[in-house]
């Protein structure tokens, strides 16, 4: 359930509301292209600007539309432990297969605070949990030692590593056998070199089959083929990470490809025109636009 190509799915908007029809179309596109799992309402899904009710409705809609064809790993994290428990309980109730649990943000817990936060969630709700370590968004992150402690708990099965540090991931791999998943598209193959098993991918919103081709090669131990895919994917992946804050570039790309509107919710703003020109050229170079 926690290996391969997993899409960090956008939440499409239209005129300020969630565009449910496009949400269903995005899911069908992913299923048709062989994605291994769908991860709604994470960073890419703009969970910070969804109301709690919208957040829950998206999880429920994704589970229903996927219909058990692939696992759904629902974003259910919060900087409030009680709120994370509530979202996790809801995710289980509506049939999600697992949850993605981001490190508590803004309040900057100690390592013991991180440990107790995730421990309580895992004990309260019997549902597999993927830790999400992204200190650049959260202000603080998990140390490898804390990850190793958490890996001893039954429900904690994987970690989405978005620190950008191979040393961090290597130390985690040396301390425990938790499944390591890349949280940065451009680092999926480098992380695989120290035992990574796949990616929760932003760029898979537009090219799921290509991301899966790379992760399939990784899981088969065919690193020659995986490297070819890495080189093909790299510039597109970097554009999604560096032109602006995620999910601004991926929404702009999906609008260019007529897959979704580029609409975001404040404080996120559309990609600047000068950067749209760069992104459009990147999509052309990849072969996605004429």
Question: In whole numbers, what is the pLDDT of the chain averaged over residues?
Answer: 97
Tell me, yes or no, whether 248 lies in a domain: no
Tell me, yes or no, whether 288 lies in a domain: no
> What is the rounded average pLDDT of the residues 64-73?
98
Tell me, yes or no, whether 285 lies in a domain: no
- CATH number at 188 reads 3.20.20.70
pLDDT recorded at residue 180: 98
> What is the rounded average pLDDT of the residues 113-121?
98
pLDDT recorded at residue 158: 98
Res. 137: pLDDT tops 90: no
Under the banding of pLDDT at 50, 70 and 90, the label for residue 89 is: very high
Domain count, the chain: 1
Tell me, yes or no, whether 282 lies in a domain: no
Res. 140: pLDDT tops 90: no
> What is the rounded average pLDDT of the residues 269-283?
97
Tell me, yes or no, whether 267 lies in a domain: no
Catalytic residue among 56, 115, 132, 276: 132
Residue that has been written with the tokens 């490898």 in this structure: 144
Res. 208: pLDDT tops 90: yes
Tell me, yes or no, whether 242 lies in a domain: no
Res. 184: pLDDT tops 90: yes
pLDDT tens column, 141-173: 999 999 999 999 999 999 999 999 999 999 999
Catalytic annotation present for 105: no
State which residues form the domain around 47: 4-226
Closest of 119, 96, 80 to residue 41, by C-alpha:
96
Tell me, yes or no, whether 278 lies in a domain: no
pLDDT tens column, 15-37: 999 999 999 999 999 999 999 99
Catalytic annotation present for 160: yes
| Cβ–Cβ < 8 Å for 74, 41 | yes
Separation of alpha carbons 283 and 290, rounded Å = 9
> What is the rounded average pLDDT of the residues 74-99?
98
Tell me, yes or no, whether 189 lies in a domain: yes
pTM: 0.97
Separation of alpha carbons 156 and 101, rounded Å = 10
> What is the rounded average pLDDT of the residues 232-236?
96
Catalytic residue among 160, 197, 212, 251: 160
pLDDT recorded at residue 192: 97
Separation of alpha carbons 148 and 55, rounded Å = 30
Token pair listed for 1: 């359930």
CB atoms within 10 A of CB 281: 12
């Amino acid at each position: 359930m926690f290996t391969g190509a997993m899409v960090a799915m956008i939440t499409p908007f239209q005129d300020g509301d969630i565009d449910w029809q496009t949400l269903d179309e995005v899911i069908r596109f992913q299923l048709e292209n062989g994605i291994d799992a769908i991860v709604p309402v994470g960073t890419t899904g703009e969970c910070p600007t969804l109301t709690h009710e919208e957040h829950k409705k998206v999880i429920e809609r994704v589970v229903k539309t996927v219909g058990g064809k692939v696992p759904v790993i629902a974003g259910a994290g919060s900087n409030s432990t009680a709120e994370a428990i509530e979202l996790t309980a809801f995710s289980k109730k509506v049939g999600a297969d697992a949850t993605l649990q981001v490190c508590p943000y803004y309040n900057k817990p100690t390592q013991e605070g991180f440990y107790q936060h995730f421990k309580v969630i895992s004990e309260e709700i019997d549902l597999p949990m993927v830790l999400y370590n992204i200190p650049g968004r959260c202000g603080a992150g998990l140390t490898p030692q804390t990850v190793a402690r958490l890996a001893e708990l039954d429900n904690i099965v994987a970690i989405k590593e978005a620190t950008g540090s191979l040393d961090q991931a290597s130390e985690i791999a040396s301390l425990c056998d938790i499944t390591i998943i890349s949280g940065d598209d451009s680092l999926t193959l480098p992380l695989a070199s120290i035992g990574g098993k796949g990616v929760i991918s932003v760029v898979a919103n537009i090219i799921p089959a290509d991301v899966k081709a790379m992760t399939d090669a990784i899981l088969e131990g065919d690193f020659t083929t995986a490297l070819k895919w890495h080189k093909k994917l790299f510039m597109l992946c970097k554009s999604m990470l560096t032109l602006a804050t995620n999910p601004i570039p991926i929404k702009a790309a999906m609008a260019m490809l007529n897959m979704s509107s580029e609409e975001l919710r404040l404080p996120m703003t559309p990609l600047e025109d000068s950067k749209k020109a760069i992104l459009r050229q990147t999509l052309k170079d990849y072969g996605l636009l004429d």
